[in-house]
Amino acid sequence: ESELRSKTKSACENMKNTRPLRTEYPVNLEIRLLNSAYADTAELIPGVMRLDALTIRYKARDIIEAYKVMELVALSAAGTRAVISDLSSL
């Protein structure tokens, strides 16, 4: 706990010397998924390009769009996993 306090204090003291992260645009996402079924689902998202069995690519206009697409890919993979799990229990 004392280490956490000291690191937090140090980080707060150094905030004056910290600059915001700058991102170049467009933001190119390349995501390697754990299962080809997840990539199958992610490929349904407009603008997503399939590179191979597990990998997708997306070119986002900005970091906000990139984040939203990453979240959508994660949610679609979770949904696909749930469906696969339900089907395997039949």
Q: Whole-prediction pTM value?
A: 0.74
Q: Is residue 46 scored above 90 in pLDDT?
A: yes
| Whole-number percent of the chain with pLDDT over 70 | 99
Nearest to 28 by CA among 51, 61, 5, 55: 61
More confident residue, 18 or 44: 44
In a domain, 67, yes or no: yes
Residue 18 pLDDT grade (very low, low, confident, very high; cuts 50, 70, 90): confident
In a domain, 54, yes or no: yes
* Cβ burial 15-39 (10 Å sphere, 16+ → b, else e): eeeeeeeeeeeebebebebeeeebb
More confident residue, 11 or 68: 68
In a domain, 3, yes or no: no
Based on the structure, what is the number of domains in the chain? 1
Tokens of 1: 């706990």
